[in-house]
Amino acid sequence: MIIIILSPFIITACFIGVIVLILTDKLNRAIAALAGAVVTYFVLIFIENFTFAIIVNLLFGTQDDDYVNLHSFILIIAMMIIVLISNEAGLFQFIAVKLIILSHGKPIRLMIIFCIITVVISAVLNNILTVIILIPLTITISRILNIDPTPYILTQAVLVNIGGTIFSISSIPNILITTYAKISFTEFFLNVGLISLIVFGFTLIFFILLYKKELVIPPGGAEILKEFDVWNFVPNKTLLIQSMISFIVLITLLIIIPSSIITPDIIAITIATFLMIISRLNPKEIITKIDLELIFYLIGIFIIAGAMEVTGVTDAIAVIMSNIGGEDILTEILLILWVSAFLSSSIDNIPITRVLIPVIDNMPVSNDPNTKNLTFYSLAIGANWGDNLTPLGDNILVVNIAEQHKRPISFKKFFKLGFITTVYQLTIVSLIFILIFQFAFGMILILTVFLSISIIYLLYKSNPKTIGLKIDKLINKFRALIIR
C-alpha cells in the first residue's frame, strides 16, 4: 500500500521541487528539470519496476500515441532554426521599422503600429526573442521621436502573449497541445487565432483610451525617423528574401497539407534544412545558437510530467477538477481557462501545459468529440495569457532590458497594467465561450454591458457640466490608477 502511494508522492514532490527551484531562481531551469528527471528515473525503475523503455516512451511517445513528444521536439527545433536564420537576416527589425515609419510620427497611429508589430512578430517568434528584439528597438525609436517609451513598452509586453496564441507554432504550449490533440494548423487558427485577434482589437481600444492623453509626440521627430535607414538591419538582401519566402511557404504548406499526410514538424524541418542550405550561413554557427537549455528543460519536463501520468497523479487531478466543474461543459471550460491562467502567472507555462494536457484528456468533458478540442483551446489561451497576471517570468526580462537601456519602468506599473488587461482579456474570452454554449445568457450579458455604456454616454452628453464632469473624474481616476 505504502509503495503504491510512495511513487506518486515522490514524483509530485519532484515536480513541485523543480517548479520552486525555477521560481526562486535557485537553479537553472534546464538543470532543475534534468535533476527531477533523474529522480523520476530511479522511482520508475526501482519502485515501479519499469524497464528503461518507459523513459524512451516518456521522452518520444509511443506508437499508440503516434510519437507525440518526438513530433513536438522536431517542430520546436525546426522553428528555432527558421527563426534564427530570419533573425540573422534582420527580417523582424526590417519589417518593424518599415511599419513604424508609416506612423508619420502620429502618436495613436504609432501606438497601433507598435501593437500590431508585437502581435505579428510574437506570432512566429517565442516571447523572449520578441521582447529582446522589440524593446531596444522601441527605446531607440523613442530617442529619435523624443518621447517616453514606457506606454509602448508596457503595451508590447502585455500583447506579446496574445501573439503567442495566433498560430499553432507561435508558442511551445501551443505546439505541445496541438501535437497531442492532433489539432491542425488551420483548425487552431480558426478557433484560437481568431479569438486572439478579436481580443487584440478590444485590448488595442482599451490601450488607446488609457494612454491617449499621454501619447504626445513633439514635432520634428517624424522627419528624423524617415532618415532611419532600414537596410542597416539587413546584412544581405538575398538572405532577407530567402527567409521571407521560407515563412510564406511554411504557413502556406501548414494550411494546405493535412497533418494526416505530412505532419507540421516534418514540413517545418524540411523548410529549415532547405533554408540552412540555401542561406550559405555557417551551419555550425546556427547549430550552436539553438537553445539547448530549452531542449534539456523540455526533456526533463516530459519525463516528470509523463511519470505523473504513469503513476496516476494526472488522473487524480482530473477527478478533482471534474468535481469542481461538475457535469457542465461550460463550467469545465471556464475552469480550465482561469485555472491555467492563474497557474501560469507564477509558474512557467511549459510544465503547466504539459501536466494539464493529460489531465484535460482524462476529464469526462473530453469524452465528447464535439467539445474535446474546446477544452484544449481554453488551455492554450489560459496558459499563454496568464503570464501577465504577475510581473514574474518573461516579464522580468522586459523590465531588465528597459533598465539596461536607461529607460527604467516600475514593476508596480507593469503589474497594474498586466493584471487588469489580462483579467479584461480573459473576461472577453469567457464571454465568447458563454455565447457558444448559452447564447441567450451570453447575449443578455453583452447587452447589459452595452446598455450600461450607452446610459453612461448619454448621461455624459446630456449634462456635461455636472454628471459629465463626475464621469470624467471617475475615468481619470481609473486611468491614473493603472498608469501612474
Applying CB under 8 A, the residues found at the interface with another protein are 90, 93, 136-137, 139-140, 142-148, 214, 220, 223-224, 227-229, 231-237, 405-407
164 close to 122: Cβ distance less than 8 angstroms: yes
Asked if 155 and 410 touch (Cβ cutoff 8 Å), the reply is no
The span from the CA of 270 to the CA of 369, in Å, is: 32
Question: What is the nearest approach in angstroms of another protein to the Cβ of residue 243?
Answer: 14
Picking from 411, 408, 385, the residue whose alpha carbon sits closest to that of residue 396 is 411
Q: How far is the CB of 91 from another protein (least distance, A)?
A: 11
310 secondary structure, DSSP code: H
Complex with another protein: residue 106 or 182, whichever CB lies closer: 106
Cβ(265)–Cβ(78) under 8 Å? yes
**Cell numbers found for residue 367:** 469524452
* CA–CA separation, 81 and 269 (whole Å): 9
Residue 167 φ/ψ, nearest 5 degrees:
-115, 165
Q: Please name the amino acid found at residue 83.
A: V
For another protein, the closer of residues 39 and 89 by Cβ is 89
Between 319 and 483, name the residue whose CB sits nearer to another protein.
483
Q: How far is the CB of 282 from another protein (least distance, A)?
A: 13
CB of 462 to another protein, least distance (A): 23
Q: Which of 236, 282 has the CB closer to another protein?
A: 236
Nearest approach, Cβ of residue 399 and another protein (Å) = 16
Distance in angstroms (rounded) separating the CA atoms of residues 200 and 366: 28
The smaller minimum CB distance to another protein, of residues 232 and 273, is found at 232
Residue 67 DSSP class:
S
What is the nearest approach in angstroms of another protein to the Cβ of residue 120? Answer: 20
Nearer to another protein, 137 or 329 (CB): 137
Which lies closer to another protein via its Cβ, residue 214 or residue 361? 214
Least Cβ distance, residue 229 to another protein (angstroms): 6
C-alpha grid cell for residue 118? Answer: 508585437
Which residue has 526533456 as its cell numbers? 299
Check if the beta carbon of residue 100 is closer than 8 Å to that of residue 225. yes
